[in-house]
Chains A and B, each alone.
Chain A
Amino acid sequence: MRAPAPSTILKFASFGAAVVVIALLPRFMGEFRLSQFTFLALYFIALLGLNILTGYNGQISLGHGAFMGIGAYVSALLILGRPGLALYQLDPPGWIPLGDGMTPVYTIPIAGMVTGIVGVLFGIPALRLAGVSLALATFAMAVALPTVAKRFDSVTGGGGGLSITLPETPFGWDISTRHWLYYEAWAIAGILFVAAWVMVRGRLGRAWRSIRDGEVAAVSSGVNPALYKTLAFGVSSFYAGVAGALLVIEVSFVNPDTFPVSLSILLLASAVIGGLGALSGVIFGALVLEFLPVYAQNPPLLPFDFSNQAPAVVFGAGLILIMILLPGGFAGLLRKLGGVFNGVLRRLTEGGRPMSVSSTRRNG
């Protein structure tokens, strides 16, 4: 069996190291930081989904935040159940299957699946759109959703939104709730990352990419675009729904303004910054999304205190510069470094052992 290329070993090693770091981080952090890192996890999940849709399958979505919102509301409604909603004087129509209140963690996969189904339903008409038209349509959805949520307040609690209580740490573990939520979020993130990795490396990923790179050619090689494009919407919305559910559990609150159109825009921006079409950069996109607003306002080491508009300016300028200079985002940068790394290693070992096949193949 051929030995794996050095950059592949590096990838697996990084993943392992990341797992260890994530597991140990809480020891060094206070509650606020923990919450930030929980957000990092859920943004990571959302961005994985968006990368699948836009990066691997080439369907531009400016509505990912709206799908997160759907997941959040589903989760909140399930957690409250009819008794909880009654306290808001809300009595949703009888055909909606709400129970008496659910443990938050079980609502996460349900929120994911409901959002995934909505995604598929959206994906079907979206088959007729491409490129900018699709971007516009998803943008329209992201803008419309808060307004629609306010209008149908018999279900959503209108502008006031829904509050839920912070869940308790299960199994009687002796850690704070924030700590538990952190682990919960990262565990789910890890599982979904591996799932994404399996999907994009396999037949799904190949089909998605072939459609992205040329739909007509894909059809002639036997790929059914309608099926895979809809599936991409479904999968990415599932991820968004899970992220939304985690968000509402973390924040204990959701209202129509929790998921404004700016979130959808920033999600796409972060996905691009991380690198579309590659999984290795998604974590960087999530880091930028979570921490750039904080550090752009109060940069460490610099004696400035920028206005709260600084993050937007940096985001926008950064996005433009990256598209001009490094369209592959962080993942593209890593790929280049990986190529350099392989090249250097090969040159160093050239005398001793047989040449390994260059590992500059596309990231999967």
Chain B
Amino acid sequence: MEISLIQALLIGIWTAFCYSGMLFGIYTNRALVLSFGVGVILGDVPTALSCGAIAELAFMGFGVGAGGTVPPNPIGPGIIGTLMAITMSDVTPETALSLSIPFAVAIQFLQTFIYTLTSGNQELATNALKERKFGKWRLFSNFTVILFAAVGFLLGFLGASSMTLLSQLVALVPQWLLKGLSVAGGMLPGIGFAMILSVMLEKKYIPFALLGYIAAAYLKMPVIGVALVGCVFAIKHYNDATEDREPSNLAVELPADESAEAGREDWI
């Protein structure tokens, strides 16, 4: 089946919309939704539905990594896989799923790359603020989603118009670079944390820093647990601190009584 230029463009736009939708949190970057769009554009909804459903159920096993870990991206089977199943008559939805996995993994590495690349955003945005250029600040704050839309469009468009070109591009990127970027991506959050701590951390909070480390690293507690442990000591501090501000009346009265008693005793 031949795909017209208009269809390729539409698929590109659809991919751009769905992929940026992932950042918006509207759950459009799911195999089920992605393939539906491809099916509608190419006029073969039943095949698309099968592809989407199978991939959706398969990918549920992968789950979503908390904090930026890298399961394969649904665009692989959702767009590329569906394209293959619809345009190539001997490719079944199941086959399409397997064939699209390399793309899914490659696209996810691409995402890691984008997240690493945009790590300079904060600096660029802050500099824009210093120049009071709020429009520029907004541009940099939106940079990731802009890149996502652009990349999404390219993936959809290239996938639809030339599958071979896309495969060649995927093969181009050296493995060592991909792995290296992945490792770097794991180290980058340290910068963000260090920045906050550089502001928040005072001498009196050091025990709490240690507490958080122990709870997470040694006790392997999930984040809510760590927060609760922090609460224990923090609330205790709060209670102690507020008590100091409102000393109880009893403490004031007793010495007066005692001295009166002592005075009377002496008198006798």
Q: Do A and B bind each other?
A: no
Which residues from chain A sit less than 8 Å from chain B, CB to CB? none
